[in-house]
Amino acid sequence: MTMTLCEMAVDVLTTADGRQKTAKSRDYAAQWIAARETDTPIPVGRADPPLRPARPDQPELLNPRDVPKRKPGSPQGRIALLHAVAHIELNAVDLHWDIIPRFAATPMPAGFYDDWVRAADDESKHFNLMCDCLEEMDSFYGALPAHAGMWRAAEDTVDDLMGRLAVVPMVLEARGLDVTPGMIGIFRKAGVTSAVAALETIYSEEVSHVAYGSKWFHFLCGRHDTDPIVVFHDLVRRYFKGALKPPFNDEKRAEAGLPPDFYWPLADQTPPRTR
Ligand SMILES: [Fe+2]
Ligand SMILES: [Fe+2]
């Protein structure tokens, strides 16, 4: 019996081990995409996602305050940085699968599912790339503690699809576009070419995840005949604690369909004068 897309999503979400989770994620994504390409789509169906995804026993999850900070100039600091990115990527795998069954009661075009399945496949690849880099540096995912608060955004927006799109792809993943070039610089300076290549892959693919968020956010605003900027500001203020932090990557944000009037009014500074 073939599984529905929602059943596939719940299977990924309830798999604890990172490598196993991403293997299932990539396999299901390939099945969904192949079925769409041959015009024999897999039904979306319905299934109840867990409130929190299954996670491995390690890493230990700590309050962000208690996660030790390490200087990126040392090998230990670079391992900590890659470990933090691996943790973000594993959360992203779950976030992209979670949105499918969580909001399956909202009718959406098939392209909505294509986008999140593709994004989940990308994140699975990113997690594996980070694990490969860590192993090359004689470490592994789980060797260090990690942030406990990563699933917070998902829980806060558990019954609000537009809130989920505003906070996850359009705020959190957009932030990734701002900070990744600096990280690439750290590894380039240290001559760690495998991490540079992996982070460059992540950087180029993350633009599309922000773009998917913006696309479907605008779609839903159009459906409800509401002003996207007003709704976006309202939802981010409701669900995201604190101001957005410049400097912003205006170029990549624009490429992803996120113009300055979306994010600057939510920042703790005024935009630089450009005219
Ligand atoms: Fe990613
Ligand atoms: Fe992403």
CA of 206 to the centre of ligand 2 (A): 5
- Give the model confidence (pLDDT) of 118-172 as tens digits: 999 999 999 999 999 999 999 999 999 999 888 999 999 999 999 999 999 999 9
CA of 89 to the centre of ligand 1 (A): 5
Cα 76 to Cα 72: distance, rounded to the nearest angstrom: 8
Give Cβ neighbours of residue 272 (< 8 Å, ≥ 6 apart): none
Report the pLDDT averaged over residues 228-244: 97
Q: 0.85 cut: is pTM over it?
A: yes
Written out in words, the top-level CATH class of the domain with range 73-266 is: mainly alpha
pLDDT of residue 256: 98
CA of 126 to the centre of ligand 1 (A): 5
How high is the mean pLDDT of the chain?
96
CA of 95 to the centre of ligand 2 (A): 9
- Give the model confidence (pLDDT) of 32-46 as tens digits: 999 999 999 999 999
CA of 1 to the centre of ligand 2 (A): 31
pLDDT of residue 67: 84
CA of 6 to the centre of ligand 1 (A): 21
Produce one character per residue of 130-141: b if its CB has 16 or more CB atoms within 10 Å, e if not.
bbebbeebebbb
All structural domains of the chain with their residue ranges = 73-266
CA of 96 to the centre of ligand 2 (A): 8
CA of 75 to the centre of ligand 1 (A): 23
- Give the model confidence (pLDDT) of 56-105 as tens digits: 999 999 998 888 888 878 999 999 999 999 999 999 999 999 999 999 99
pLDDT of residue 11: 98
CA of 149 to the centre of ligand 1 (A): 17
Quick one: which ligand is closest to 208's CA? 2
Could you give the C-alpha distances from 212 to 2, 208, 209, 243, in angstroms and in order? 27, 6, 5, 23
Peptide bond into 260 cis (omega under 30): no
CA of 119 to the centre of ligand 2 (A): 6
Residue type, 6: C
CA of 201 to the centre of ligand 1 (A): 9
Structural contact between residues 174 and 253, judged by C-beta atoms closer than 8 angstroms = yes
CA of 228 to the centre of ligand 1 (A): 25
pLDDT of residue 246: 96
CA of 112 to the centre of ligand 1 (A): 18
Question: Dihedral, CA atoms, 150, 15, 205, 83, nearest 10 degrees?
Answer: 50
Quick one: which ligand is closest to 96's CA? 2
CA of 190 to the centre of ligand 1 (A): 22
Report the pLDDT averaged over residues 19-36: 98
CA of 243 to the centre of ligand 2 (A): 21
Quick one: which ligand is closest to 123's CA? 1
Confidence of residue 1 (pLDDT cuts 50, 70, 90): low
